Chains A and B, each alone.
Chain A
Amino acid sequence: AQKVTQAQTEISVVEKEDVTLDCVYETRDTTYYLFWYKQPPSGELVFLIRRNSFDEQNEISGRYSWNFQKSTSSFNFTITASQVVDSAVYFCALSGGAEGGNEKLTFGTGTRLTIIP
């Protein structure tokens, strides 16, 4: 069975600090996909990134970066120079299967990030 663990339930940092959100996953599939989503206080879910299991290159998008390490089954998310608008609940998710893609997407329980002005 697939499992995603986000051990950090809540994190608070002062604005402009860097923060890393941890995500550890379990799967028996050799081909799988990892995701991060943001849920701001307004409640919608915002897709941030999708990474397949064959691509271990780190990804950077502006102040966001992701570190994928198969050896430790982790897909951590770092926000650099945090801003108040980054305050949200962040979900890590996993899907798998030889056909790839979105079947049976498994989410972690989320990390609530609060940026203190």
Chain B
Amino acid sequence: EAQVTQNPRYLITVTGKKLTVTCSQNMNHEYMSWYRQDPGLGLRQIYYSMNVEVTDKGDVPEGYKVSRKEKRNFPLILESPSPNQTSLYFCASSFSVGSSTDTQYFGPGTRLTVL
């Protein structure tokens, strides 16, 4: 089954404790991206990657890191989480950019609470 998986789905942590949210897709997609969803703000892009070893900042990259060492994985790293990073996080992927028929797939979401 074609899918994007995220782990963990729920996480409660404390300020300053490094954490990683994993994202994996099994569709051989080139493009992957991370978003955060906050009430009244919709979804905002954190980082994206157009292929292995190619990453770029989205609209709200501060406080986050990403890496793309393998095509299927795109982990989101919070080196020193703070309460303002409490949010619902989504990973997404698509086969390539620039295709009018391409479908974007989203993961199920990770709800993070930073105390």
Contact = CB atoms under 8 A, between A and B. Distances in A.
Given A50-B100, A91-B43, A109-B40, A104 B59 contact: yes
A45 interface: yes
Contacts of B100: 33, 50, 52, 55, 100
Nearest to A54: B100
B56 A103 contact: yes
Contact of B31 (A52, A101, A107, A110): A101
Contacts, number: 75
B106 interface: yes
A102 B104 contact: yes
Nearest to A92: B42
Contact of B106 (A45, A50, A100, A102): A45
Interface residues of A, number: 27
A45 B90 CA distance: 9
Contacts of B94: 101-102
Interface residues of B, number: 31
B84 interface: no
Interface in B56-115: 56, 58-59, 88, 90, 92, 94, 96-106, 108-109
A108 B41 CA distance: 8
Interface in A32-72: 33, 35, 37, 43-47, 50, 52, 55
A50 B103 CA distance: 8
B7 interface: no
Interface in B1-18: none
Contact of A104 (B41, B48, B103): B48
11 contacts: A6-B42, A45-B106, A50-B103, A50-B104, A91-B42, A91-B43, A101-B96, A102-B94, A104-B48, A105-B33, A107-B35
Interface of B: 31, 33, 35, 40-45, 48, 50, 56, 58-59, 88, 90, 92, 94, 96-106, 108-109
Ranked nearest first, the 7 interchain pairs of A and B with the lowest CB-CB distance are A101-B97, A100-B98, A45-B106, A107-B42, A107-B43, A109-B42, A101-B98
